[in-house]
Structure 1
């Protein structure tokens, strides 16, 4: 069995388990998958140091939100041993005003090192959708 494949498969599992815990939401459970020096950058450049902060941010924006995974891809950086994991799909849930949504695209990039997530970057359509709902969008969605 190829050790590189095992490291990549393990990193993908770590990321998907982290995301599953995050969606409950269970930020303390999600924190078990991140390193002590974890750094999270949300859409718009918002910086967080852990799942507790990002869960609190999401609670201000959504009544509830979940992710429908389309795919999880990963690649090993042979120089550093880091595994770069990409998870993409759709957010679905309910805005604070009670309106439901299901086609909000997202893409998350993770770096997994020594079995822990050390960083995450999150992109999604939420800000554009909220601008559209407020009549402030620069173009139709």
Structure 2
């Protein structure tokens, strides 16, 4: 990894740590002007507080167990994938674990330009037996 790629990866790690705190104000320090978050279900947010607010309604609490980062240099930008599992509790307090997620970030000069977020939560809500395997 080159120095810019390392800086971009660190921005993603710091953003995710702040997002999981949750501290959307701190998370916002890692995003560029014009930031876009394309969230599950096609929801679009322009600040980190958007997904935080959505998650507050969907879960009693939720955290990521990050398994790995895949880093792809792309000219002046870096594409960073964060892959792993969500764990937490649904609003009624029922715990869950093993909920797959992928986040894709476009980063430049240590600032996140945009992110796409995918996970299994909607499927698990529709059919809770899926989560029980």
**TM-score, normalized by length of structure 1?**
0.89
Query: Quick one: distance in 2 between partners of 1:45 and 1:128?
Result: 15
- Unaligned segments of structure 2, at least 5 residues: none
What secondary structure is seen at the aligned counterpart in 1 of 2:17?
helix
Q: Secondary structure at the match of 2:60?
A: strand
Q: 1:55 aligns with which of 52, 63, 68?
A: 52
**1:87 correspondence with 2:70:** no
Check the 8 A contact 2:78/2:108 in 1, yes or no. yes
Q: Offset of 1:5 from its aligned partner? A: 1.6
Contact 1:76 1:84 in 2 (8 A): yes
Cα distance in 2, alignment partners of residues 84 and 7 from structure 1: 12
What is the distance in 2 between the residues matched to 1:66 and 1:17? Answer: 14
Deviation at residue 120 of structure 1 after TM alignment: 0.2
Q: Distance in 1 between matches of 2:9 and 2:84?
A: 15
C-alpha RMSD of the superposition: 1.6
Q: Which runs of 5+ in 1 are unaligned?
A: none
Equivalent residue runs for 1:98-113 within 5 Å: 98-113=93-108
Give the match's secondary structure for 2:41. Answer: coil
- Counterpart of 1:24 in structure 2 is 21
The structural deviation recorded for 1:77 is 1.0
- Number of residue pairs matched? 132
Matched, 1:127 2:125: no
**Contact residue 112 and residue 118 of structure 1 kept, 8 A:** yes
Task: Verify: 1:44 aligned to 2:41, yes or no.
Answer: yes
SS for the counterpart of 2:89 is strand
